A and B are shown apart, each in its own frame.
Chain A
């Protein structure tokens, strides 16, 4: 849940991805916790892959920037992996 200390990074990535794709029901984000870093794995429908990556990776970079800014408050590192 989002609170004053910070948000929910898995939900954040899911919401962004759902806004970008044609098949939001196919969006899945799973969190793999490591000691210092949590990896968020994003899966979308094959036809939507280009939509979350964008031209020259611009959309993916934007998602990572938003994730990076949001996770600063959580004192934990998050990385986004877009799975093909």
Chain B
């Protein structure tokens, strides 16, 4: 189901959660918003926001919100979204996503400062594609820096380096 009908997609996610949440015995409620308001500075423009809440919220957010991301993955896959459409549906719980956005933006700023000071490339910890994108976008405005993702699959991470360092790398010094 490509996301041309947001309301149908929202209903699909609601029906899915109505089956999964009780079957798993999770004490969670959810609210689904189509075309949610997003903060001005957010690089993400989701078409559908699914907010989970309730007594099991701490479990949802444990280990870097692994359970939150797992629910999101199952929902995205069941909607048959192409990977470039994955940003259209976002799961959140207790504003975890906006907190991460702030953390990652700050971390990107610190990394930029450090790379300029030391001249050495800086590698972030491995992150999801969604989080790597936030880091890339946060550093895009820094014209003297260069970012790229390295590593495979779950171990993929962002590397920041000086642009001139990139070109110098090939010449023998």
- A residues apposed to B, CB below 8 Å: 2-9, 11-12, 15-16, 19-20, 51, 54-56, 58-59, 61-63, 65-66, 69-70, 72-74
Contact = CB atoms under 8 A, between A and B. Distances in A.
B143 interface: no
29 contacts: A2-B22, A2-B23, A2-B25, A6-B25, A7-B22, A8-B23, A8-B25, A12-B23, A12-B24, A15-B23, A19-B16, A19-B19, A19-B74, A19-B77, A19-B78, A20-B74, A20-B77, A51-B77, A56-B152, A58-B73, A59-B74, A62-B69, A62-B71, A65-B67, A66-B20, A66-B24, A66-B71, A66-B74, A72-B59
A61 B25 CA distance: 19
Contact of A5 (B20, B25, B59, B66): B25
Contacts, number: 75
B66 A16 contact: no
B24 A69 contact: yes
Given A15-B19, A70-B26, A54 B67 contact: no
A52 to B, nearest CB: 9
A72 B67 CA distance: 13
B99 interface: no
Contacts of B152: 56
Contacts of B16: 19
Contacts of A20: 74, 77-78
B67 A66 contact: yes
Interface string B10-25: 0000001001101111
Nearest 8 A/B pairs, CB to CB: A7-B25, A70-B24, A62-B70, A6-B25, A19-B78, A65-B70, A56-B153, A12-B23
Contacts of A8: 23, 25
B154 interface: yes
Interface in B33-69: 59, 66-67, 69
A77 B25 CA distance: 15
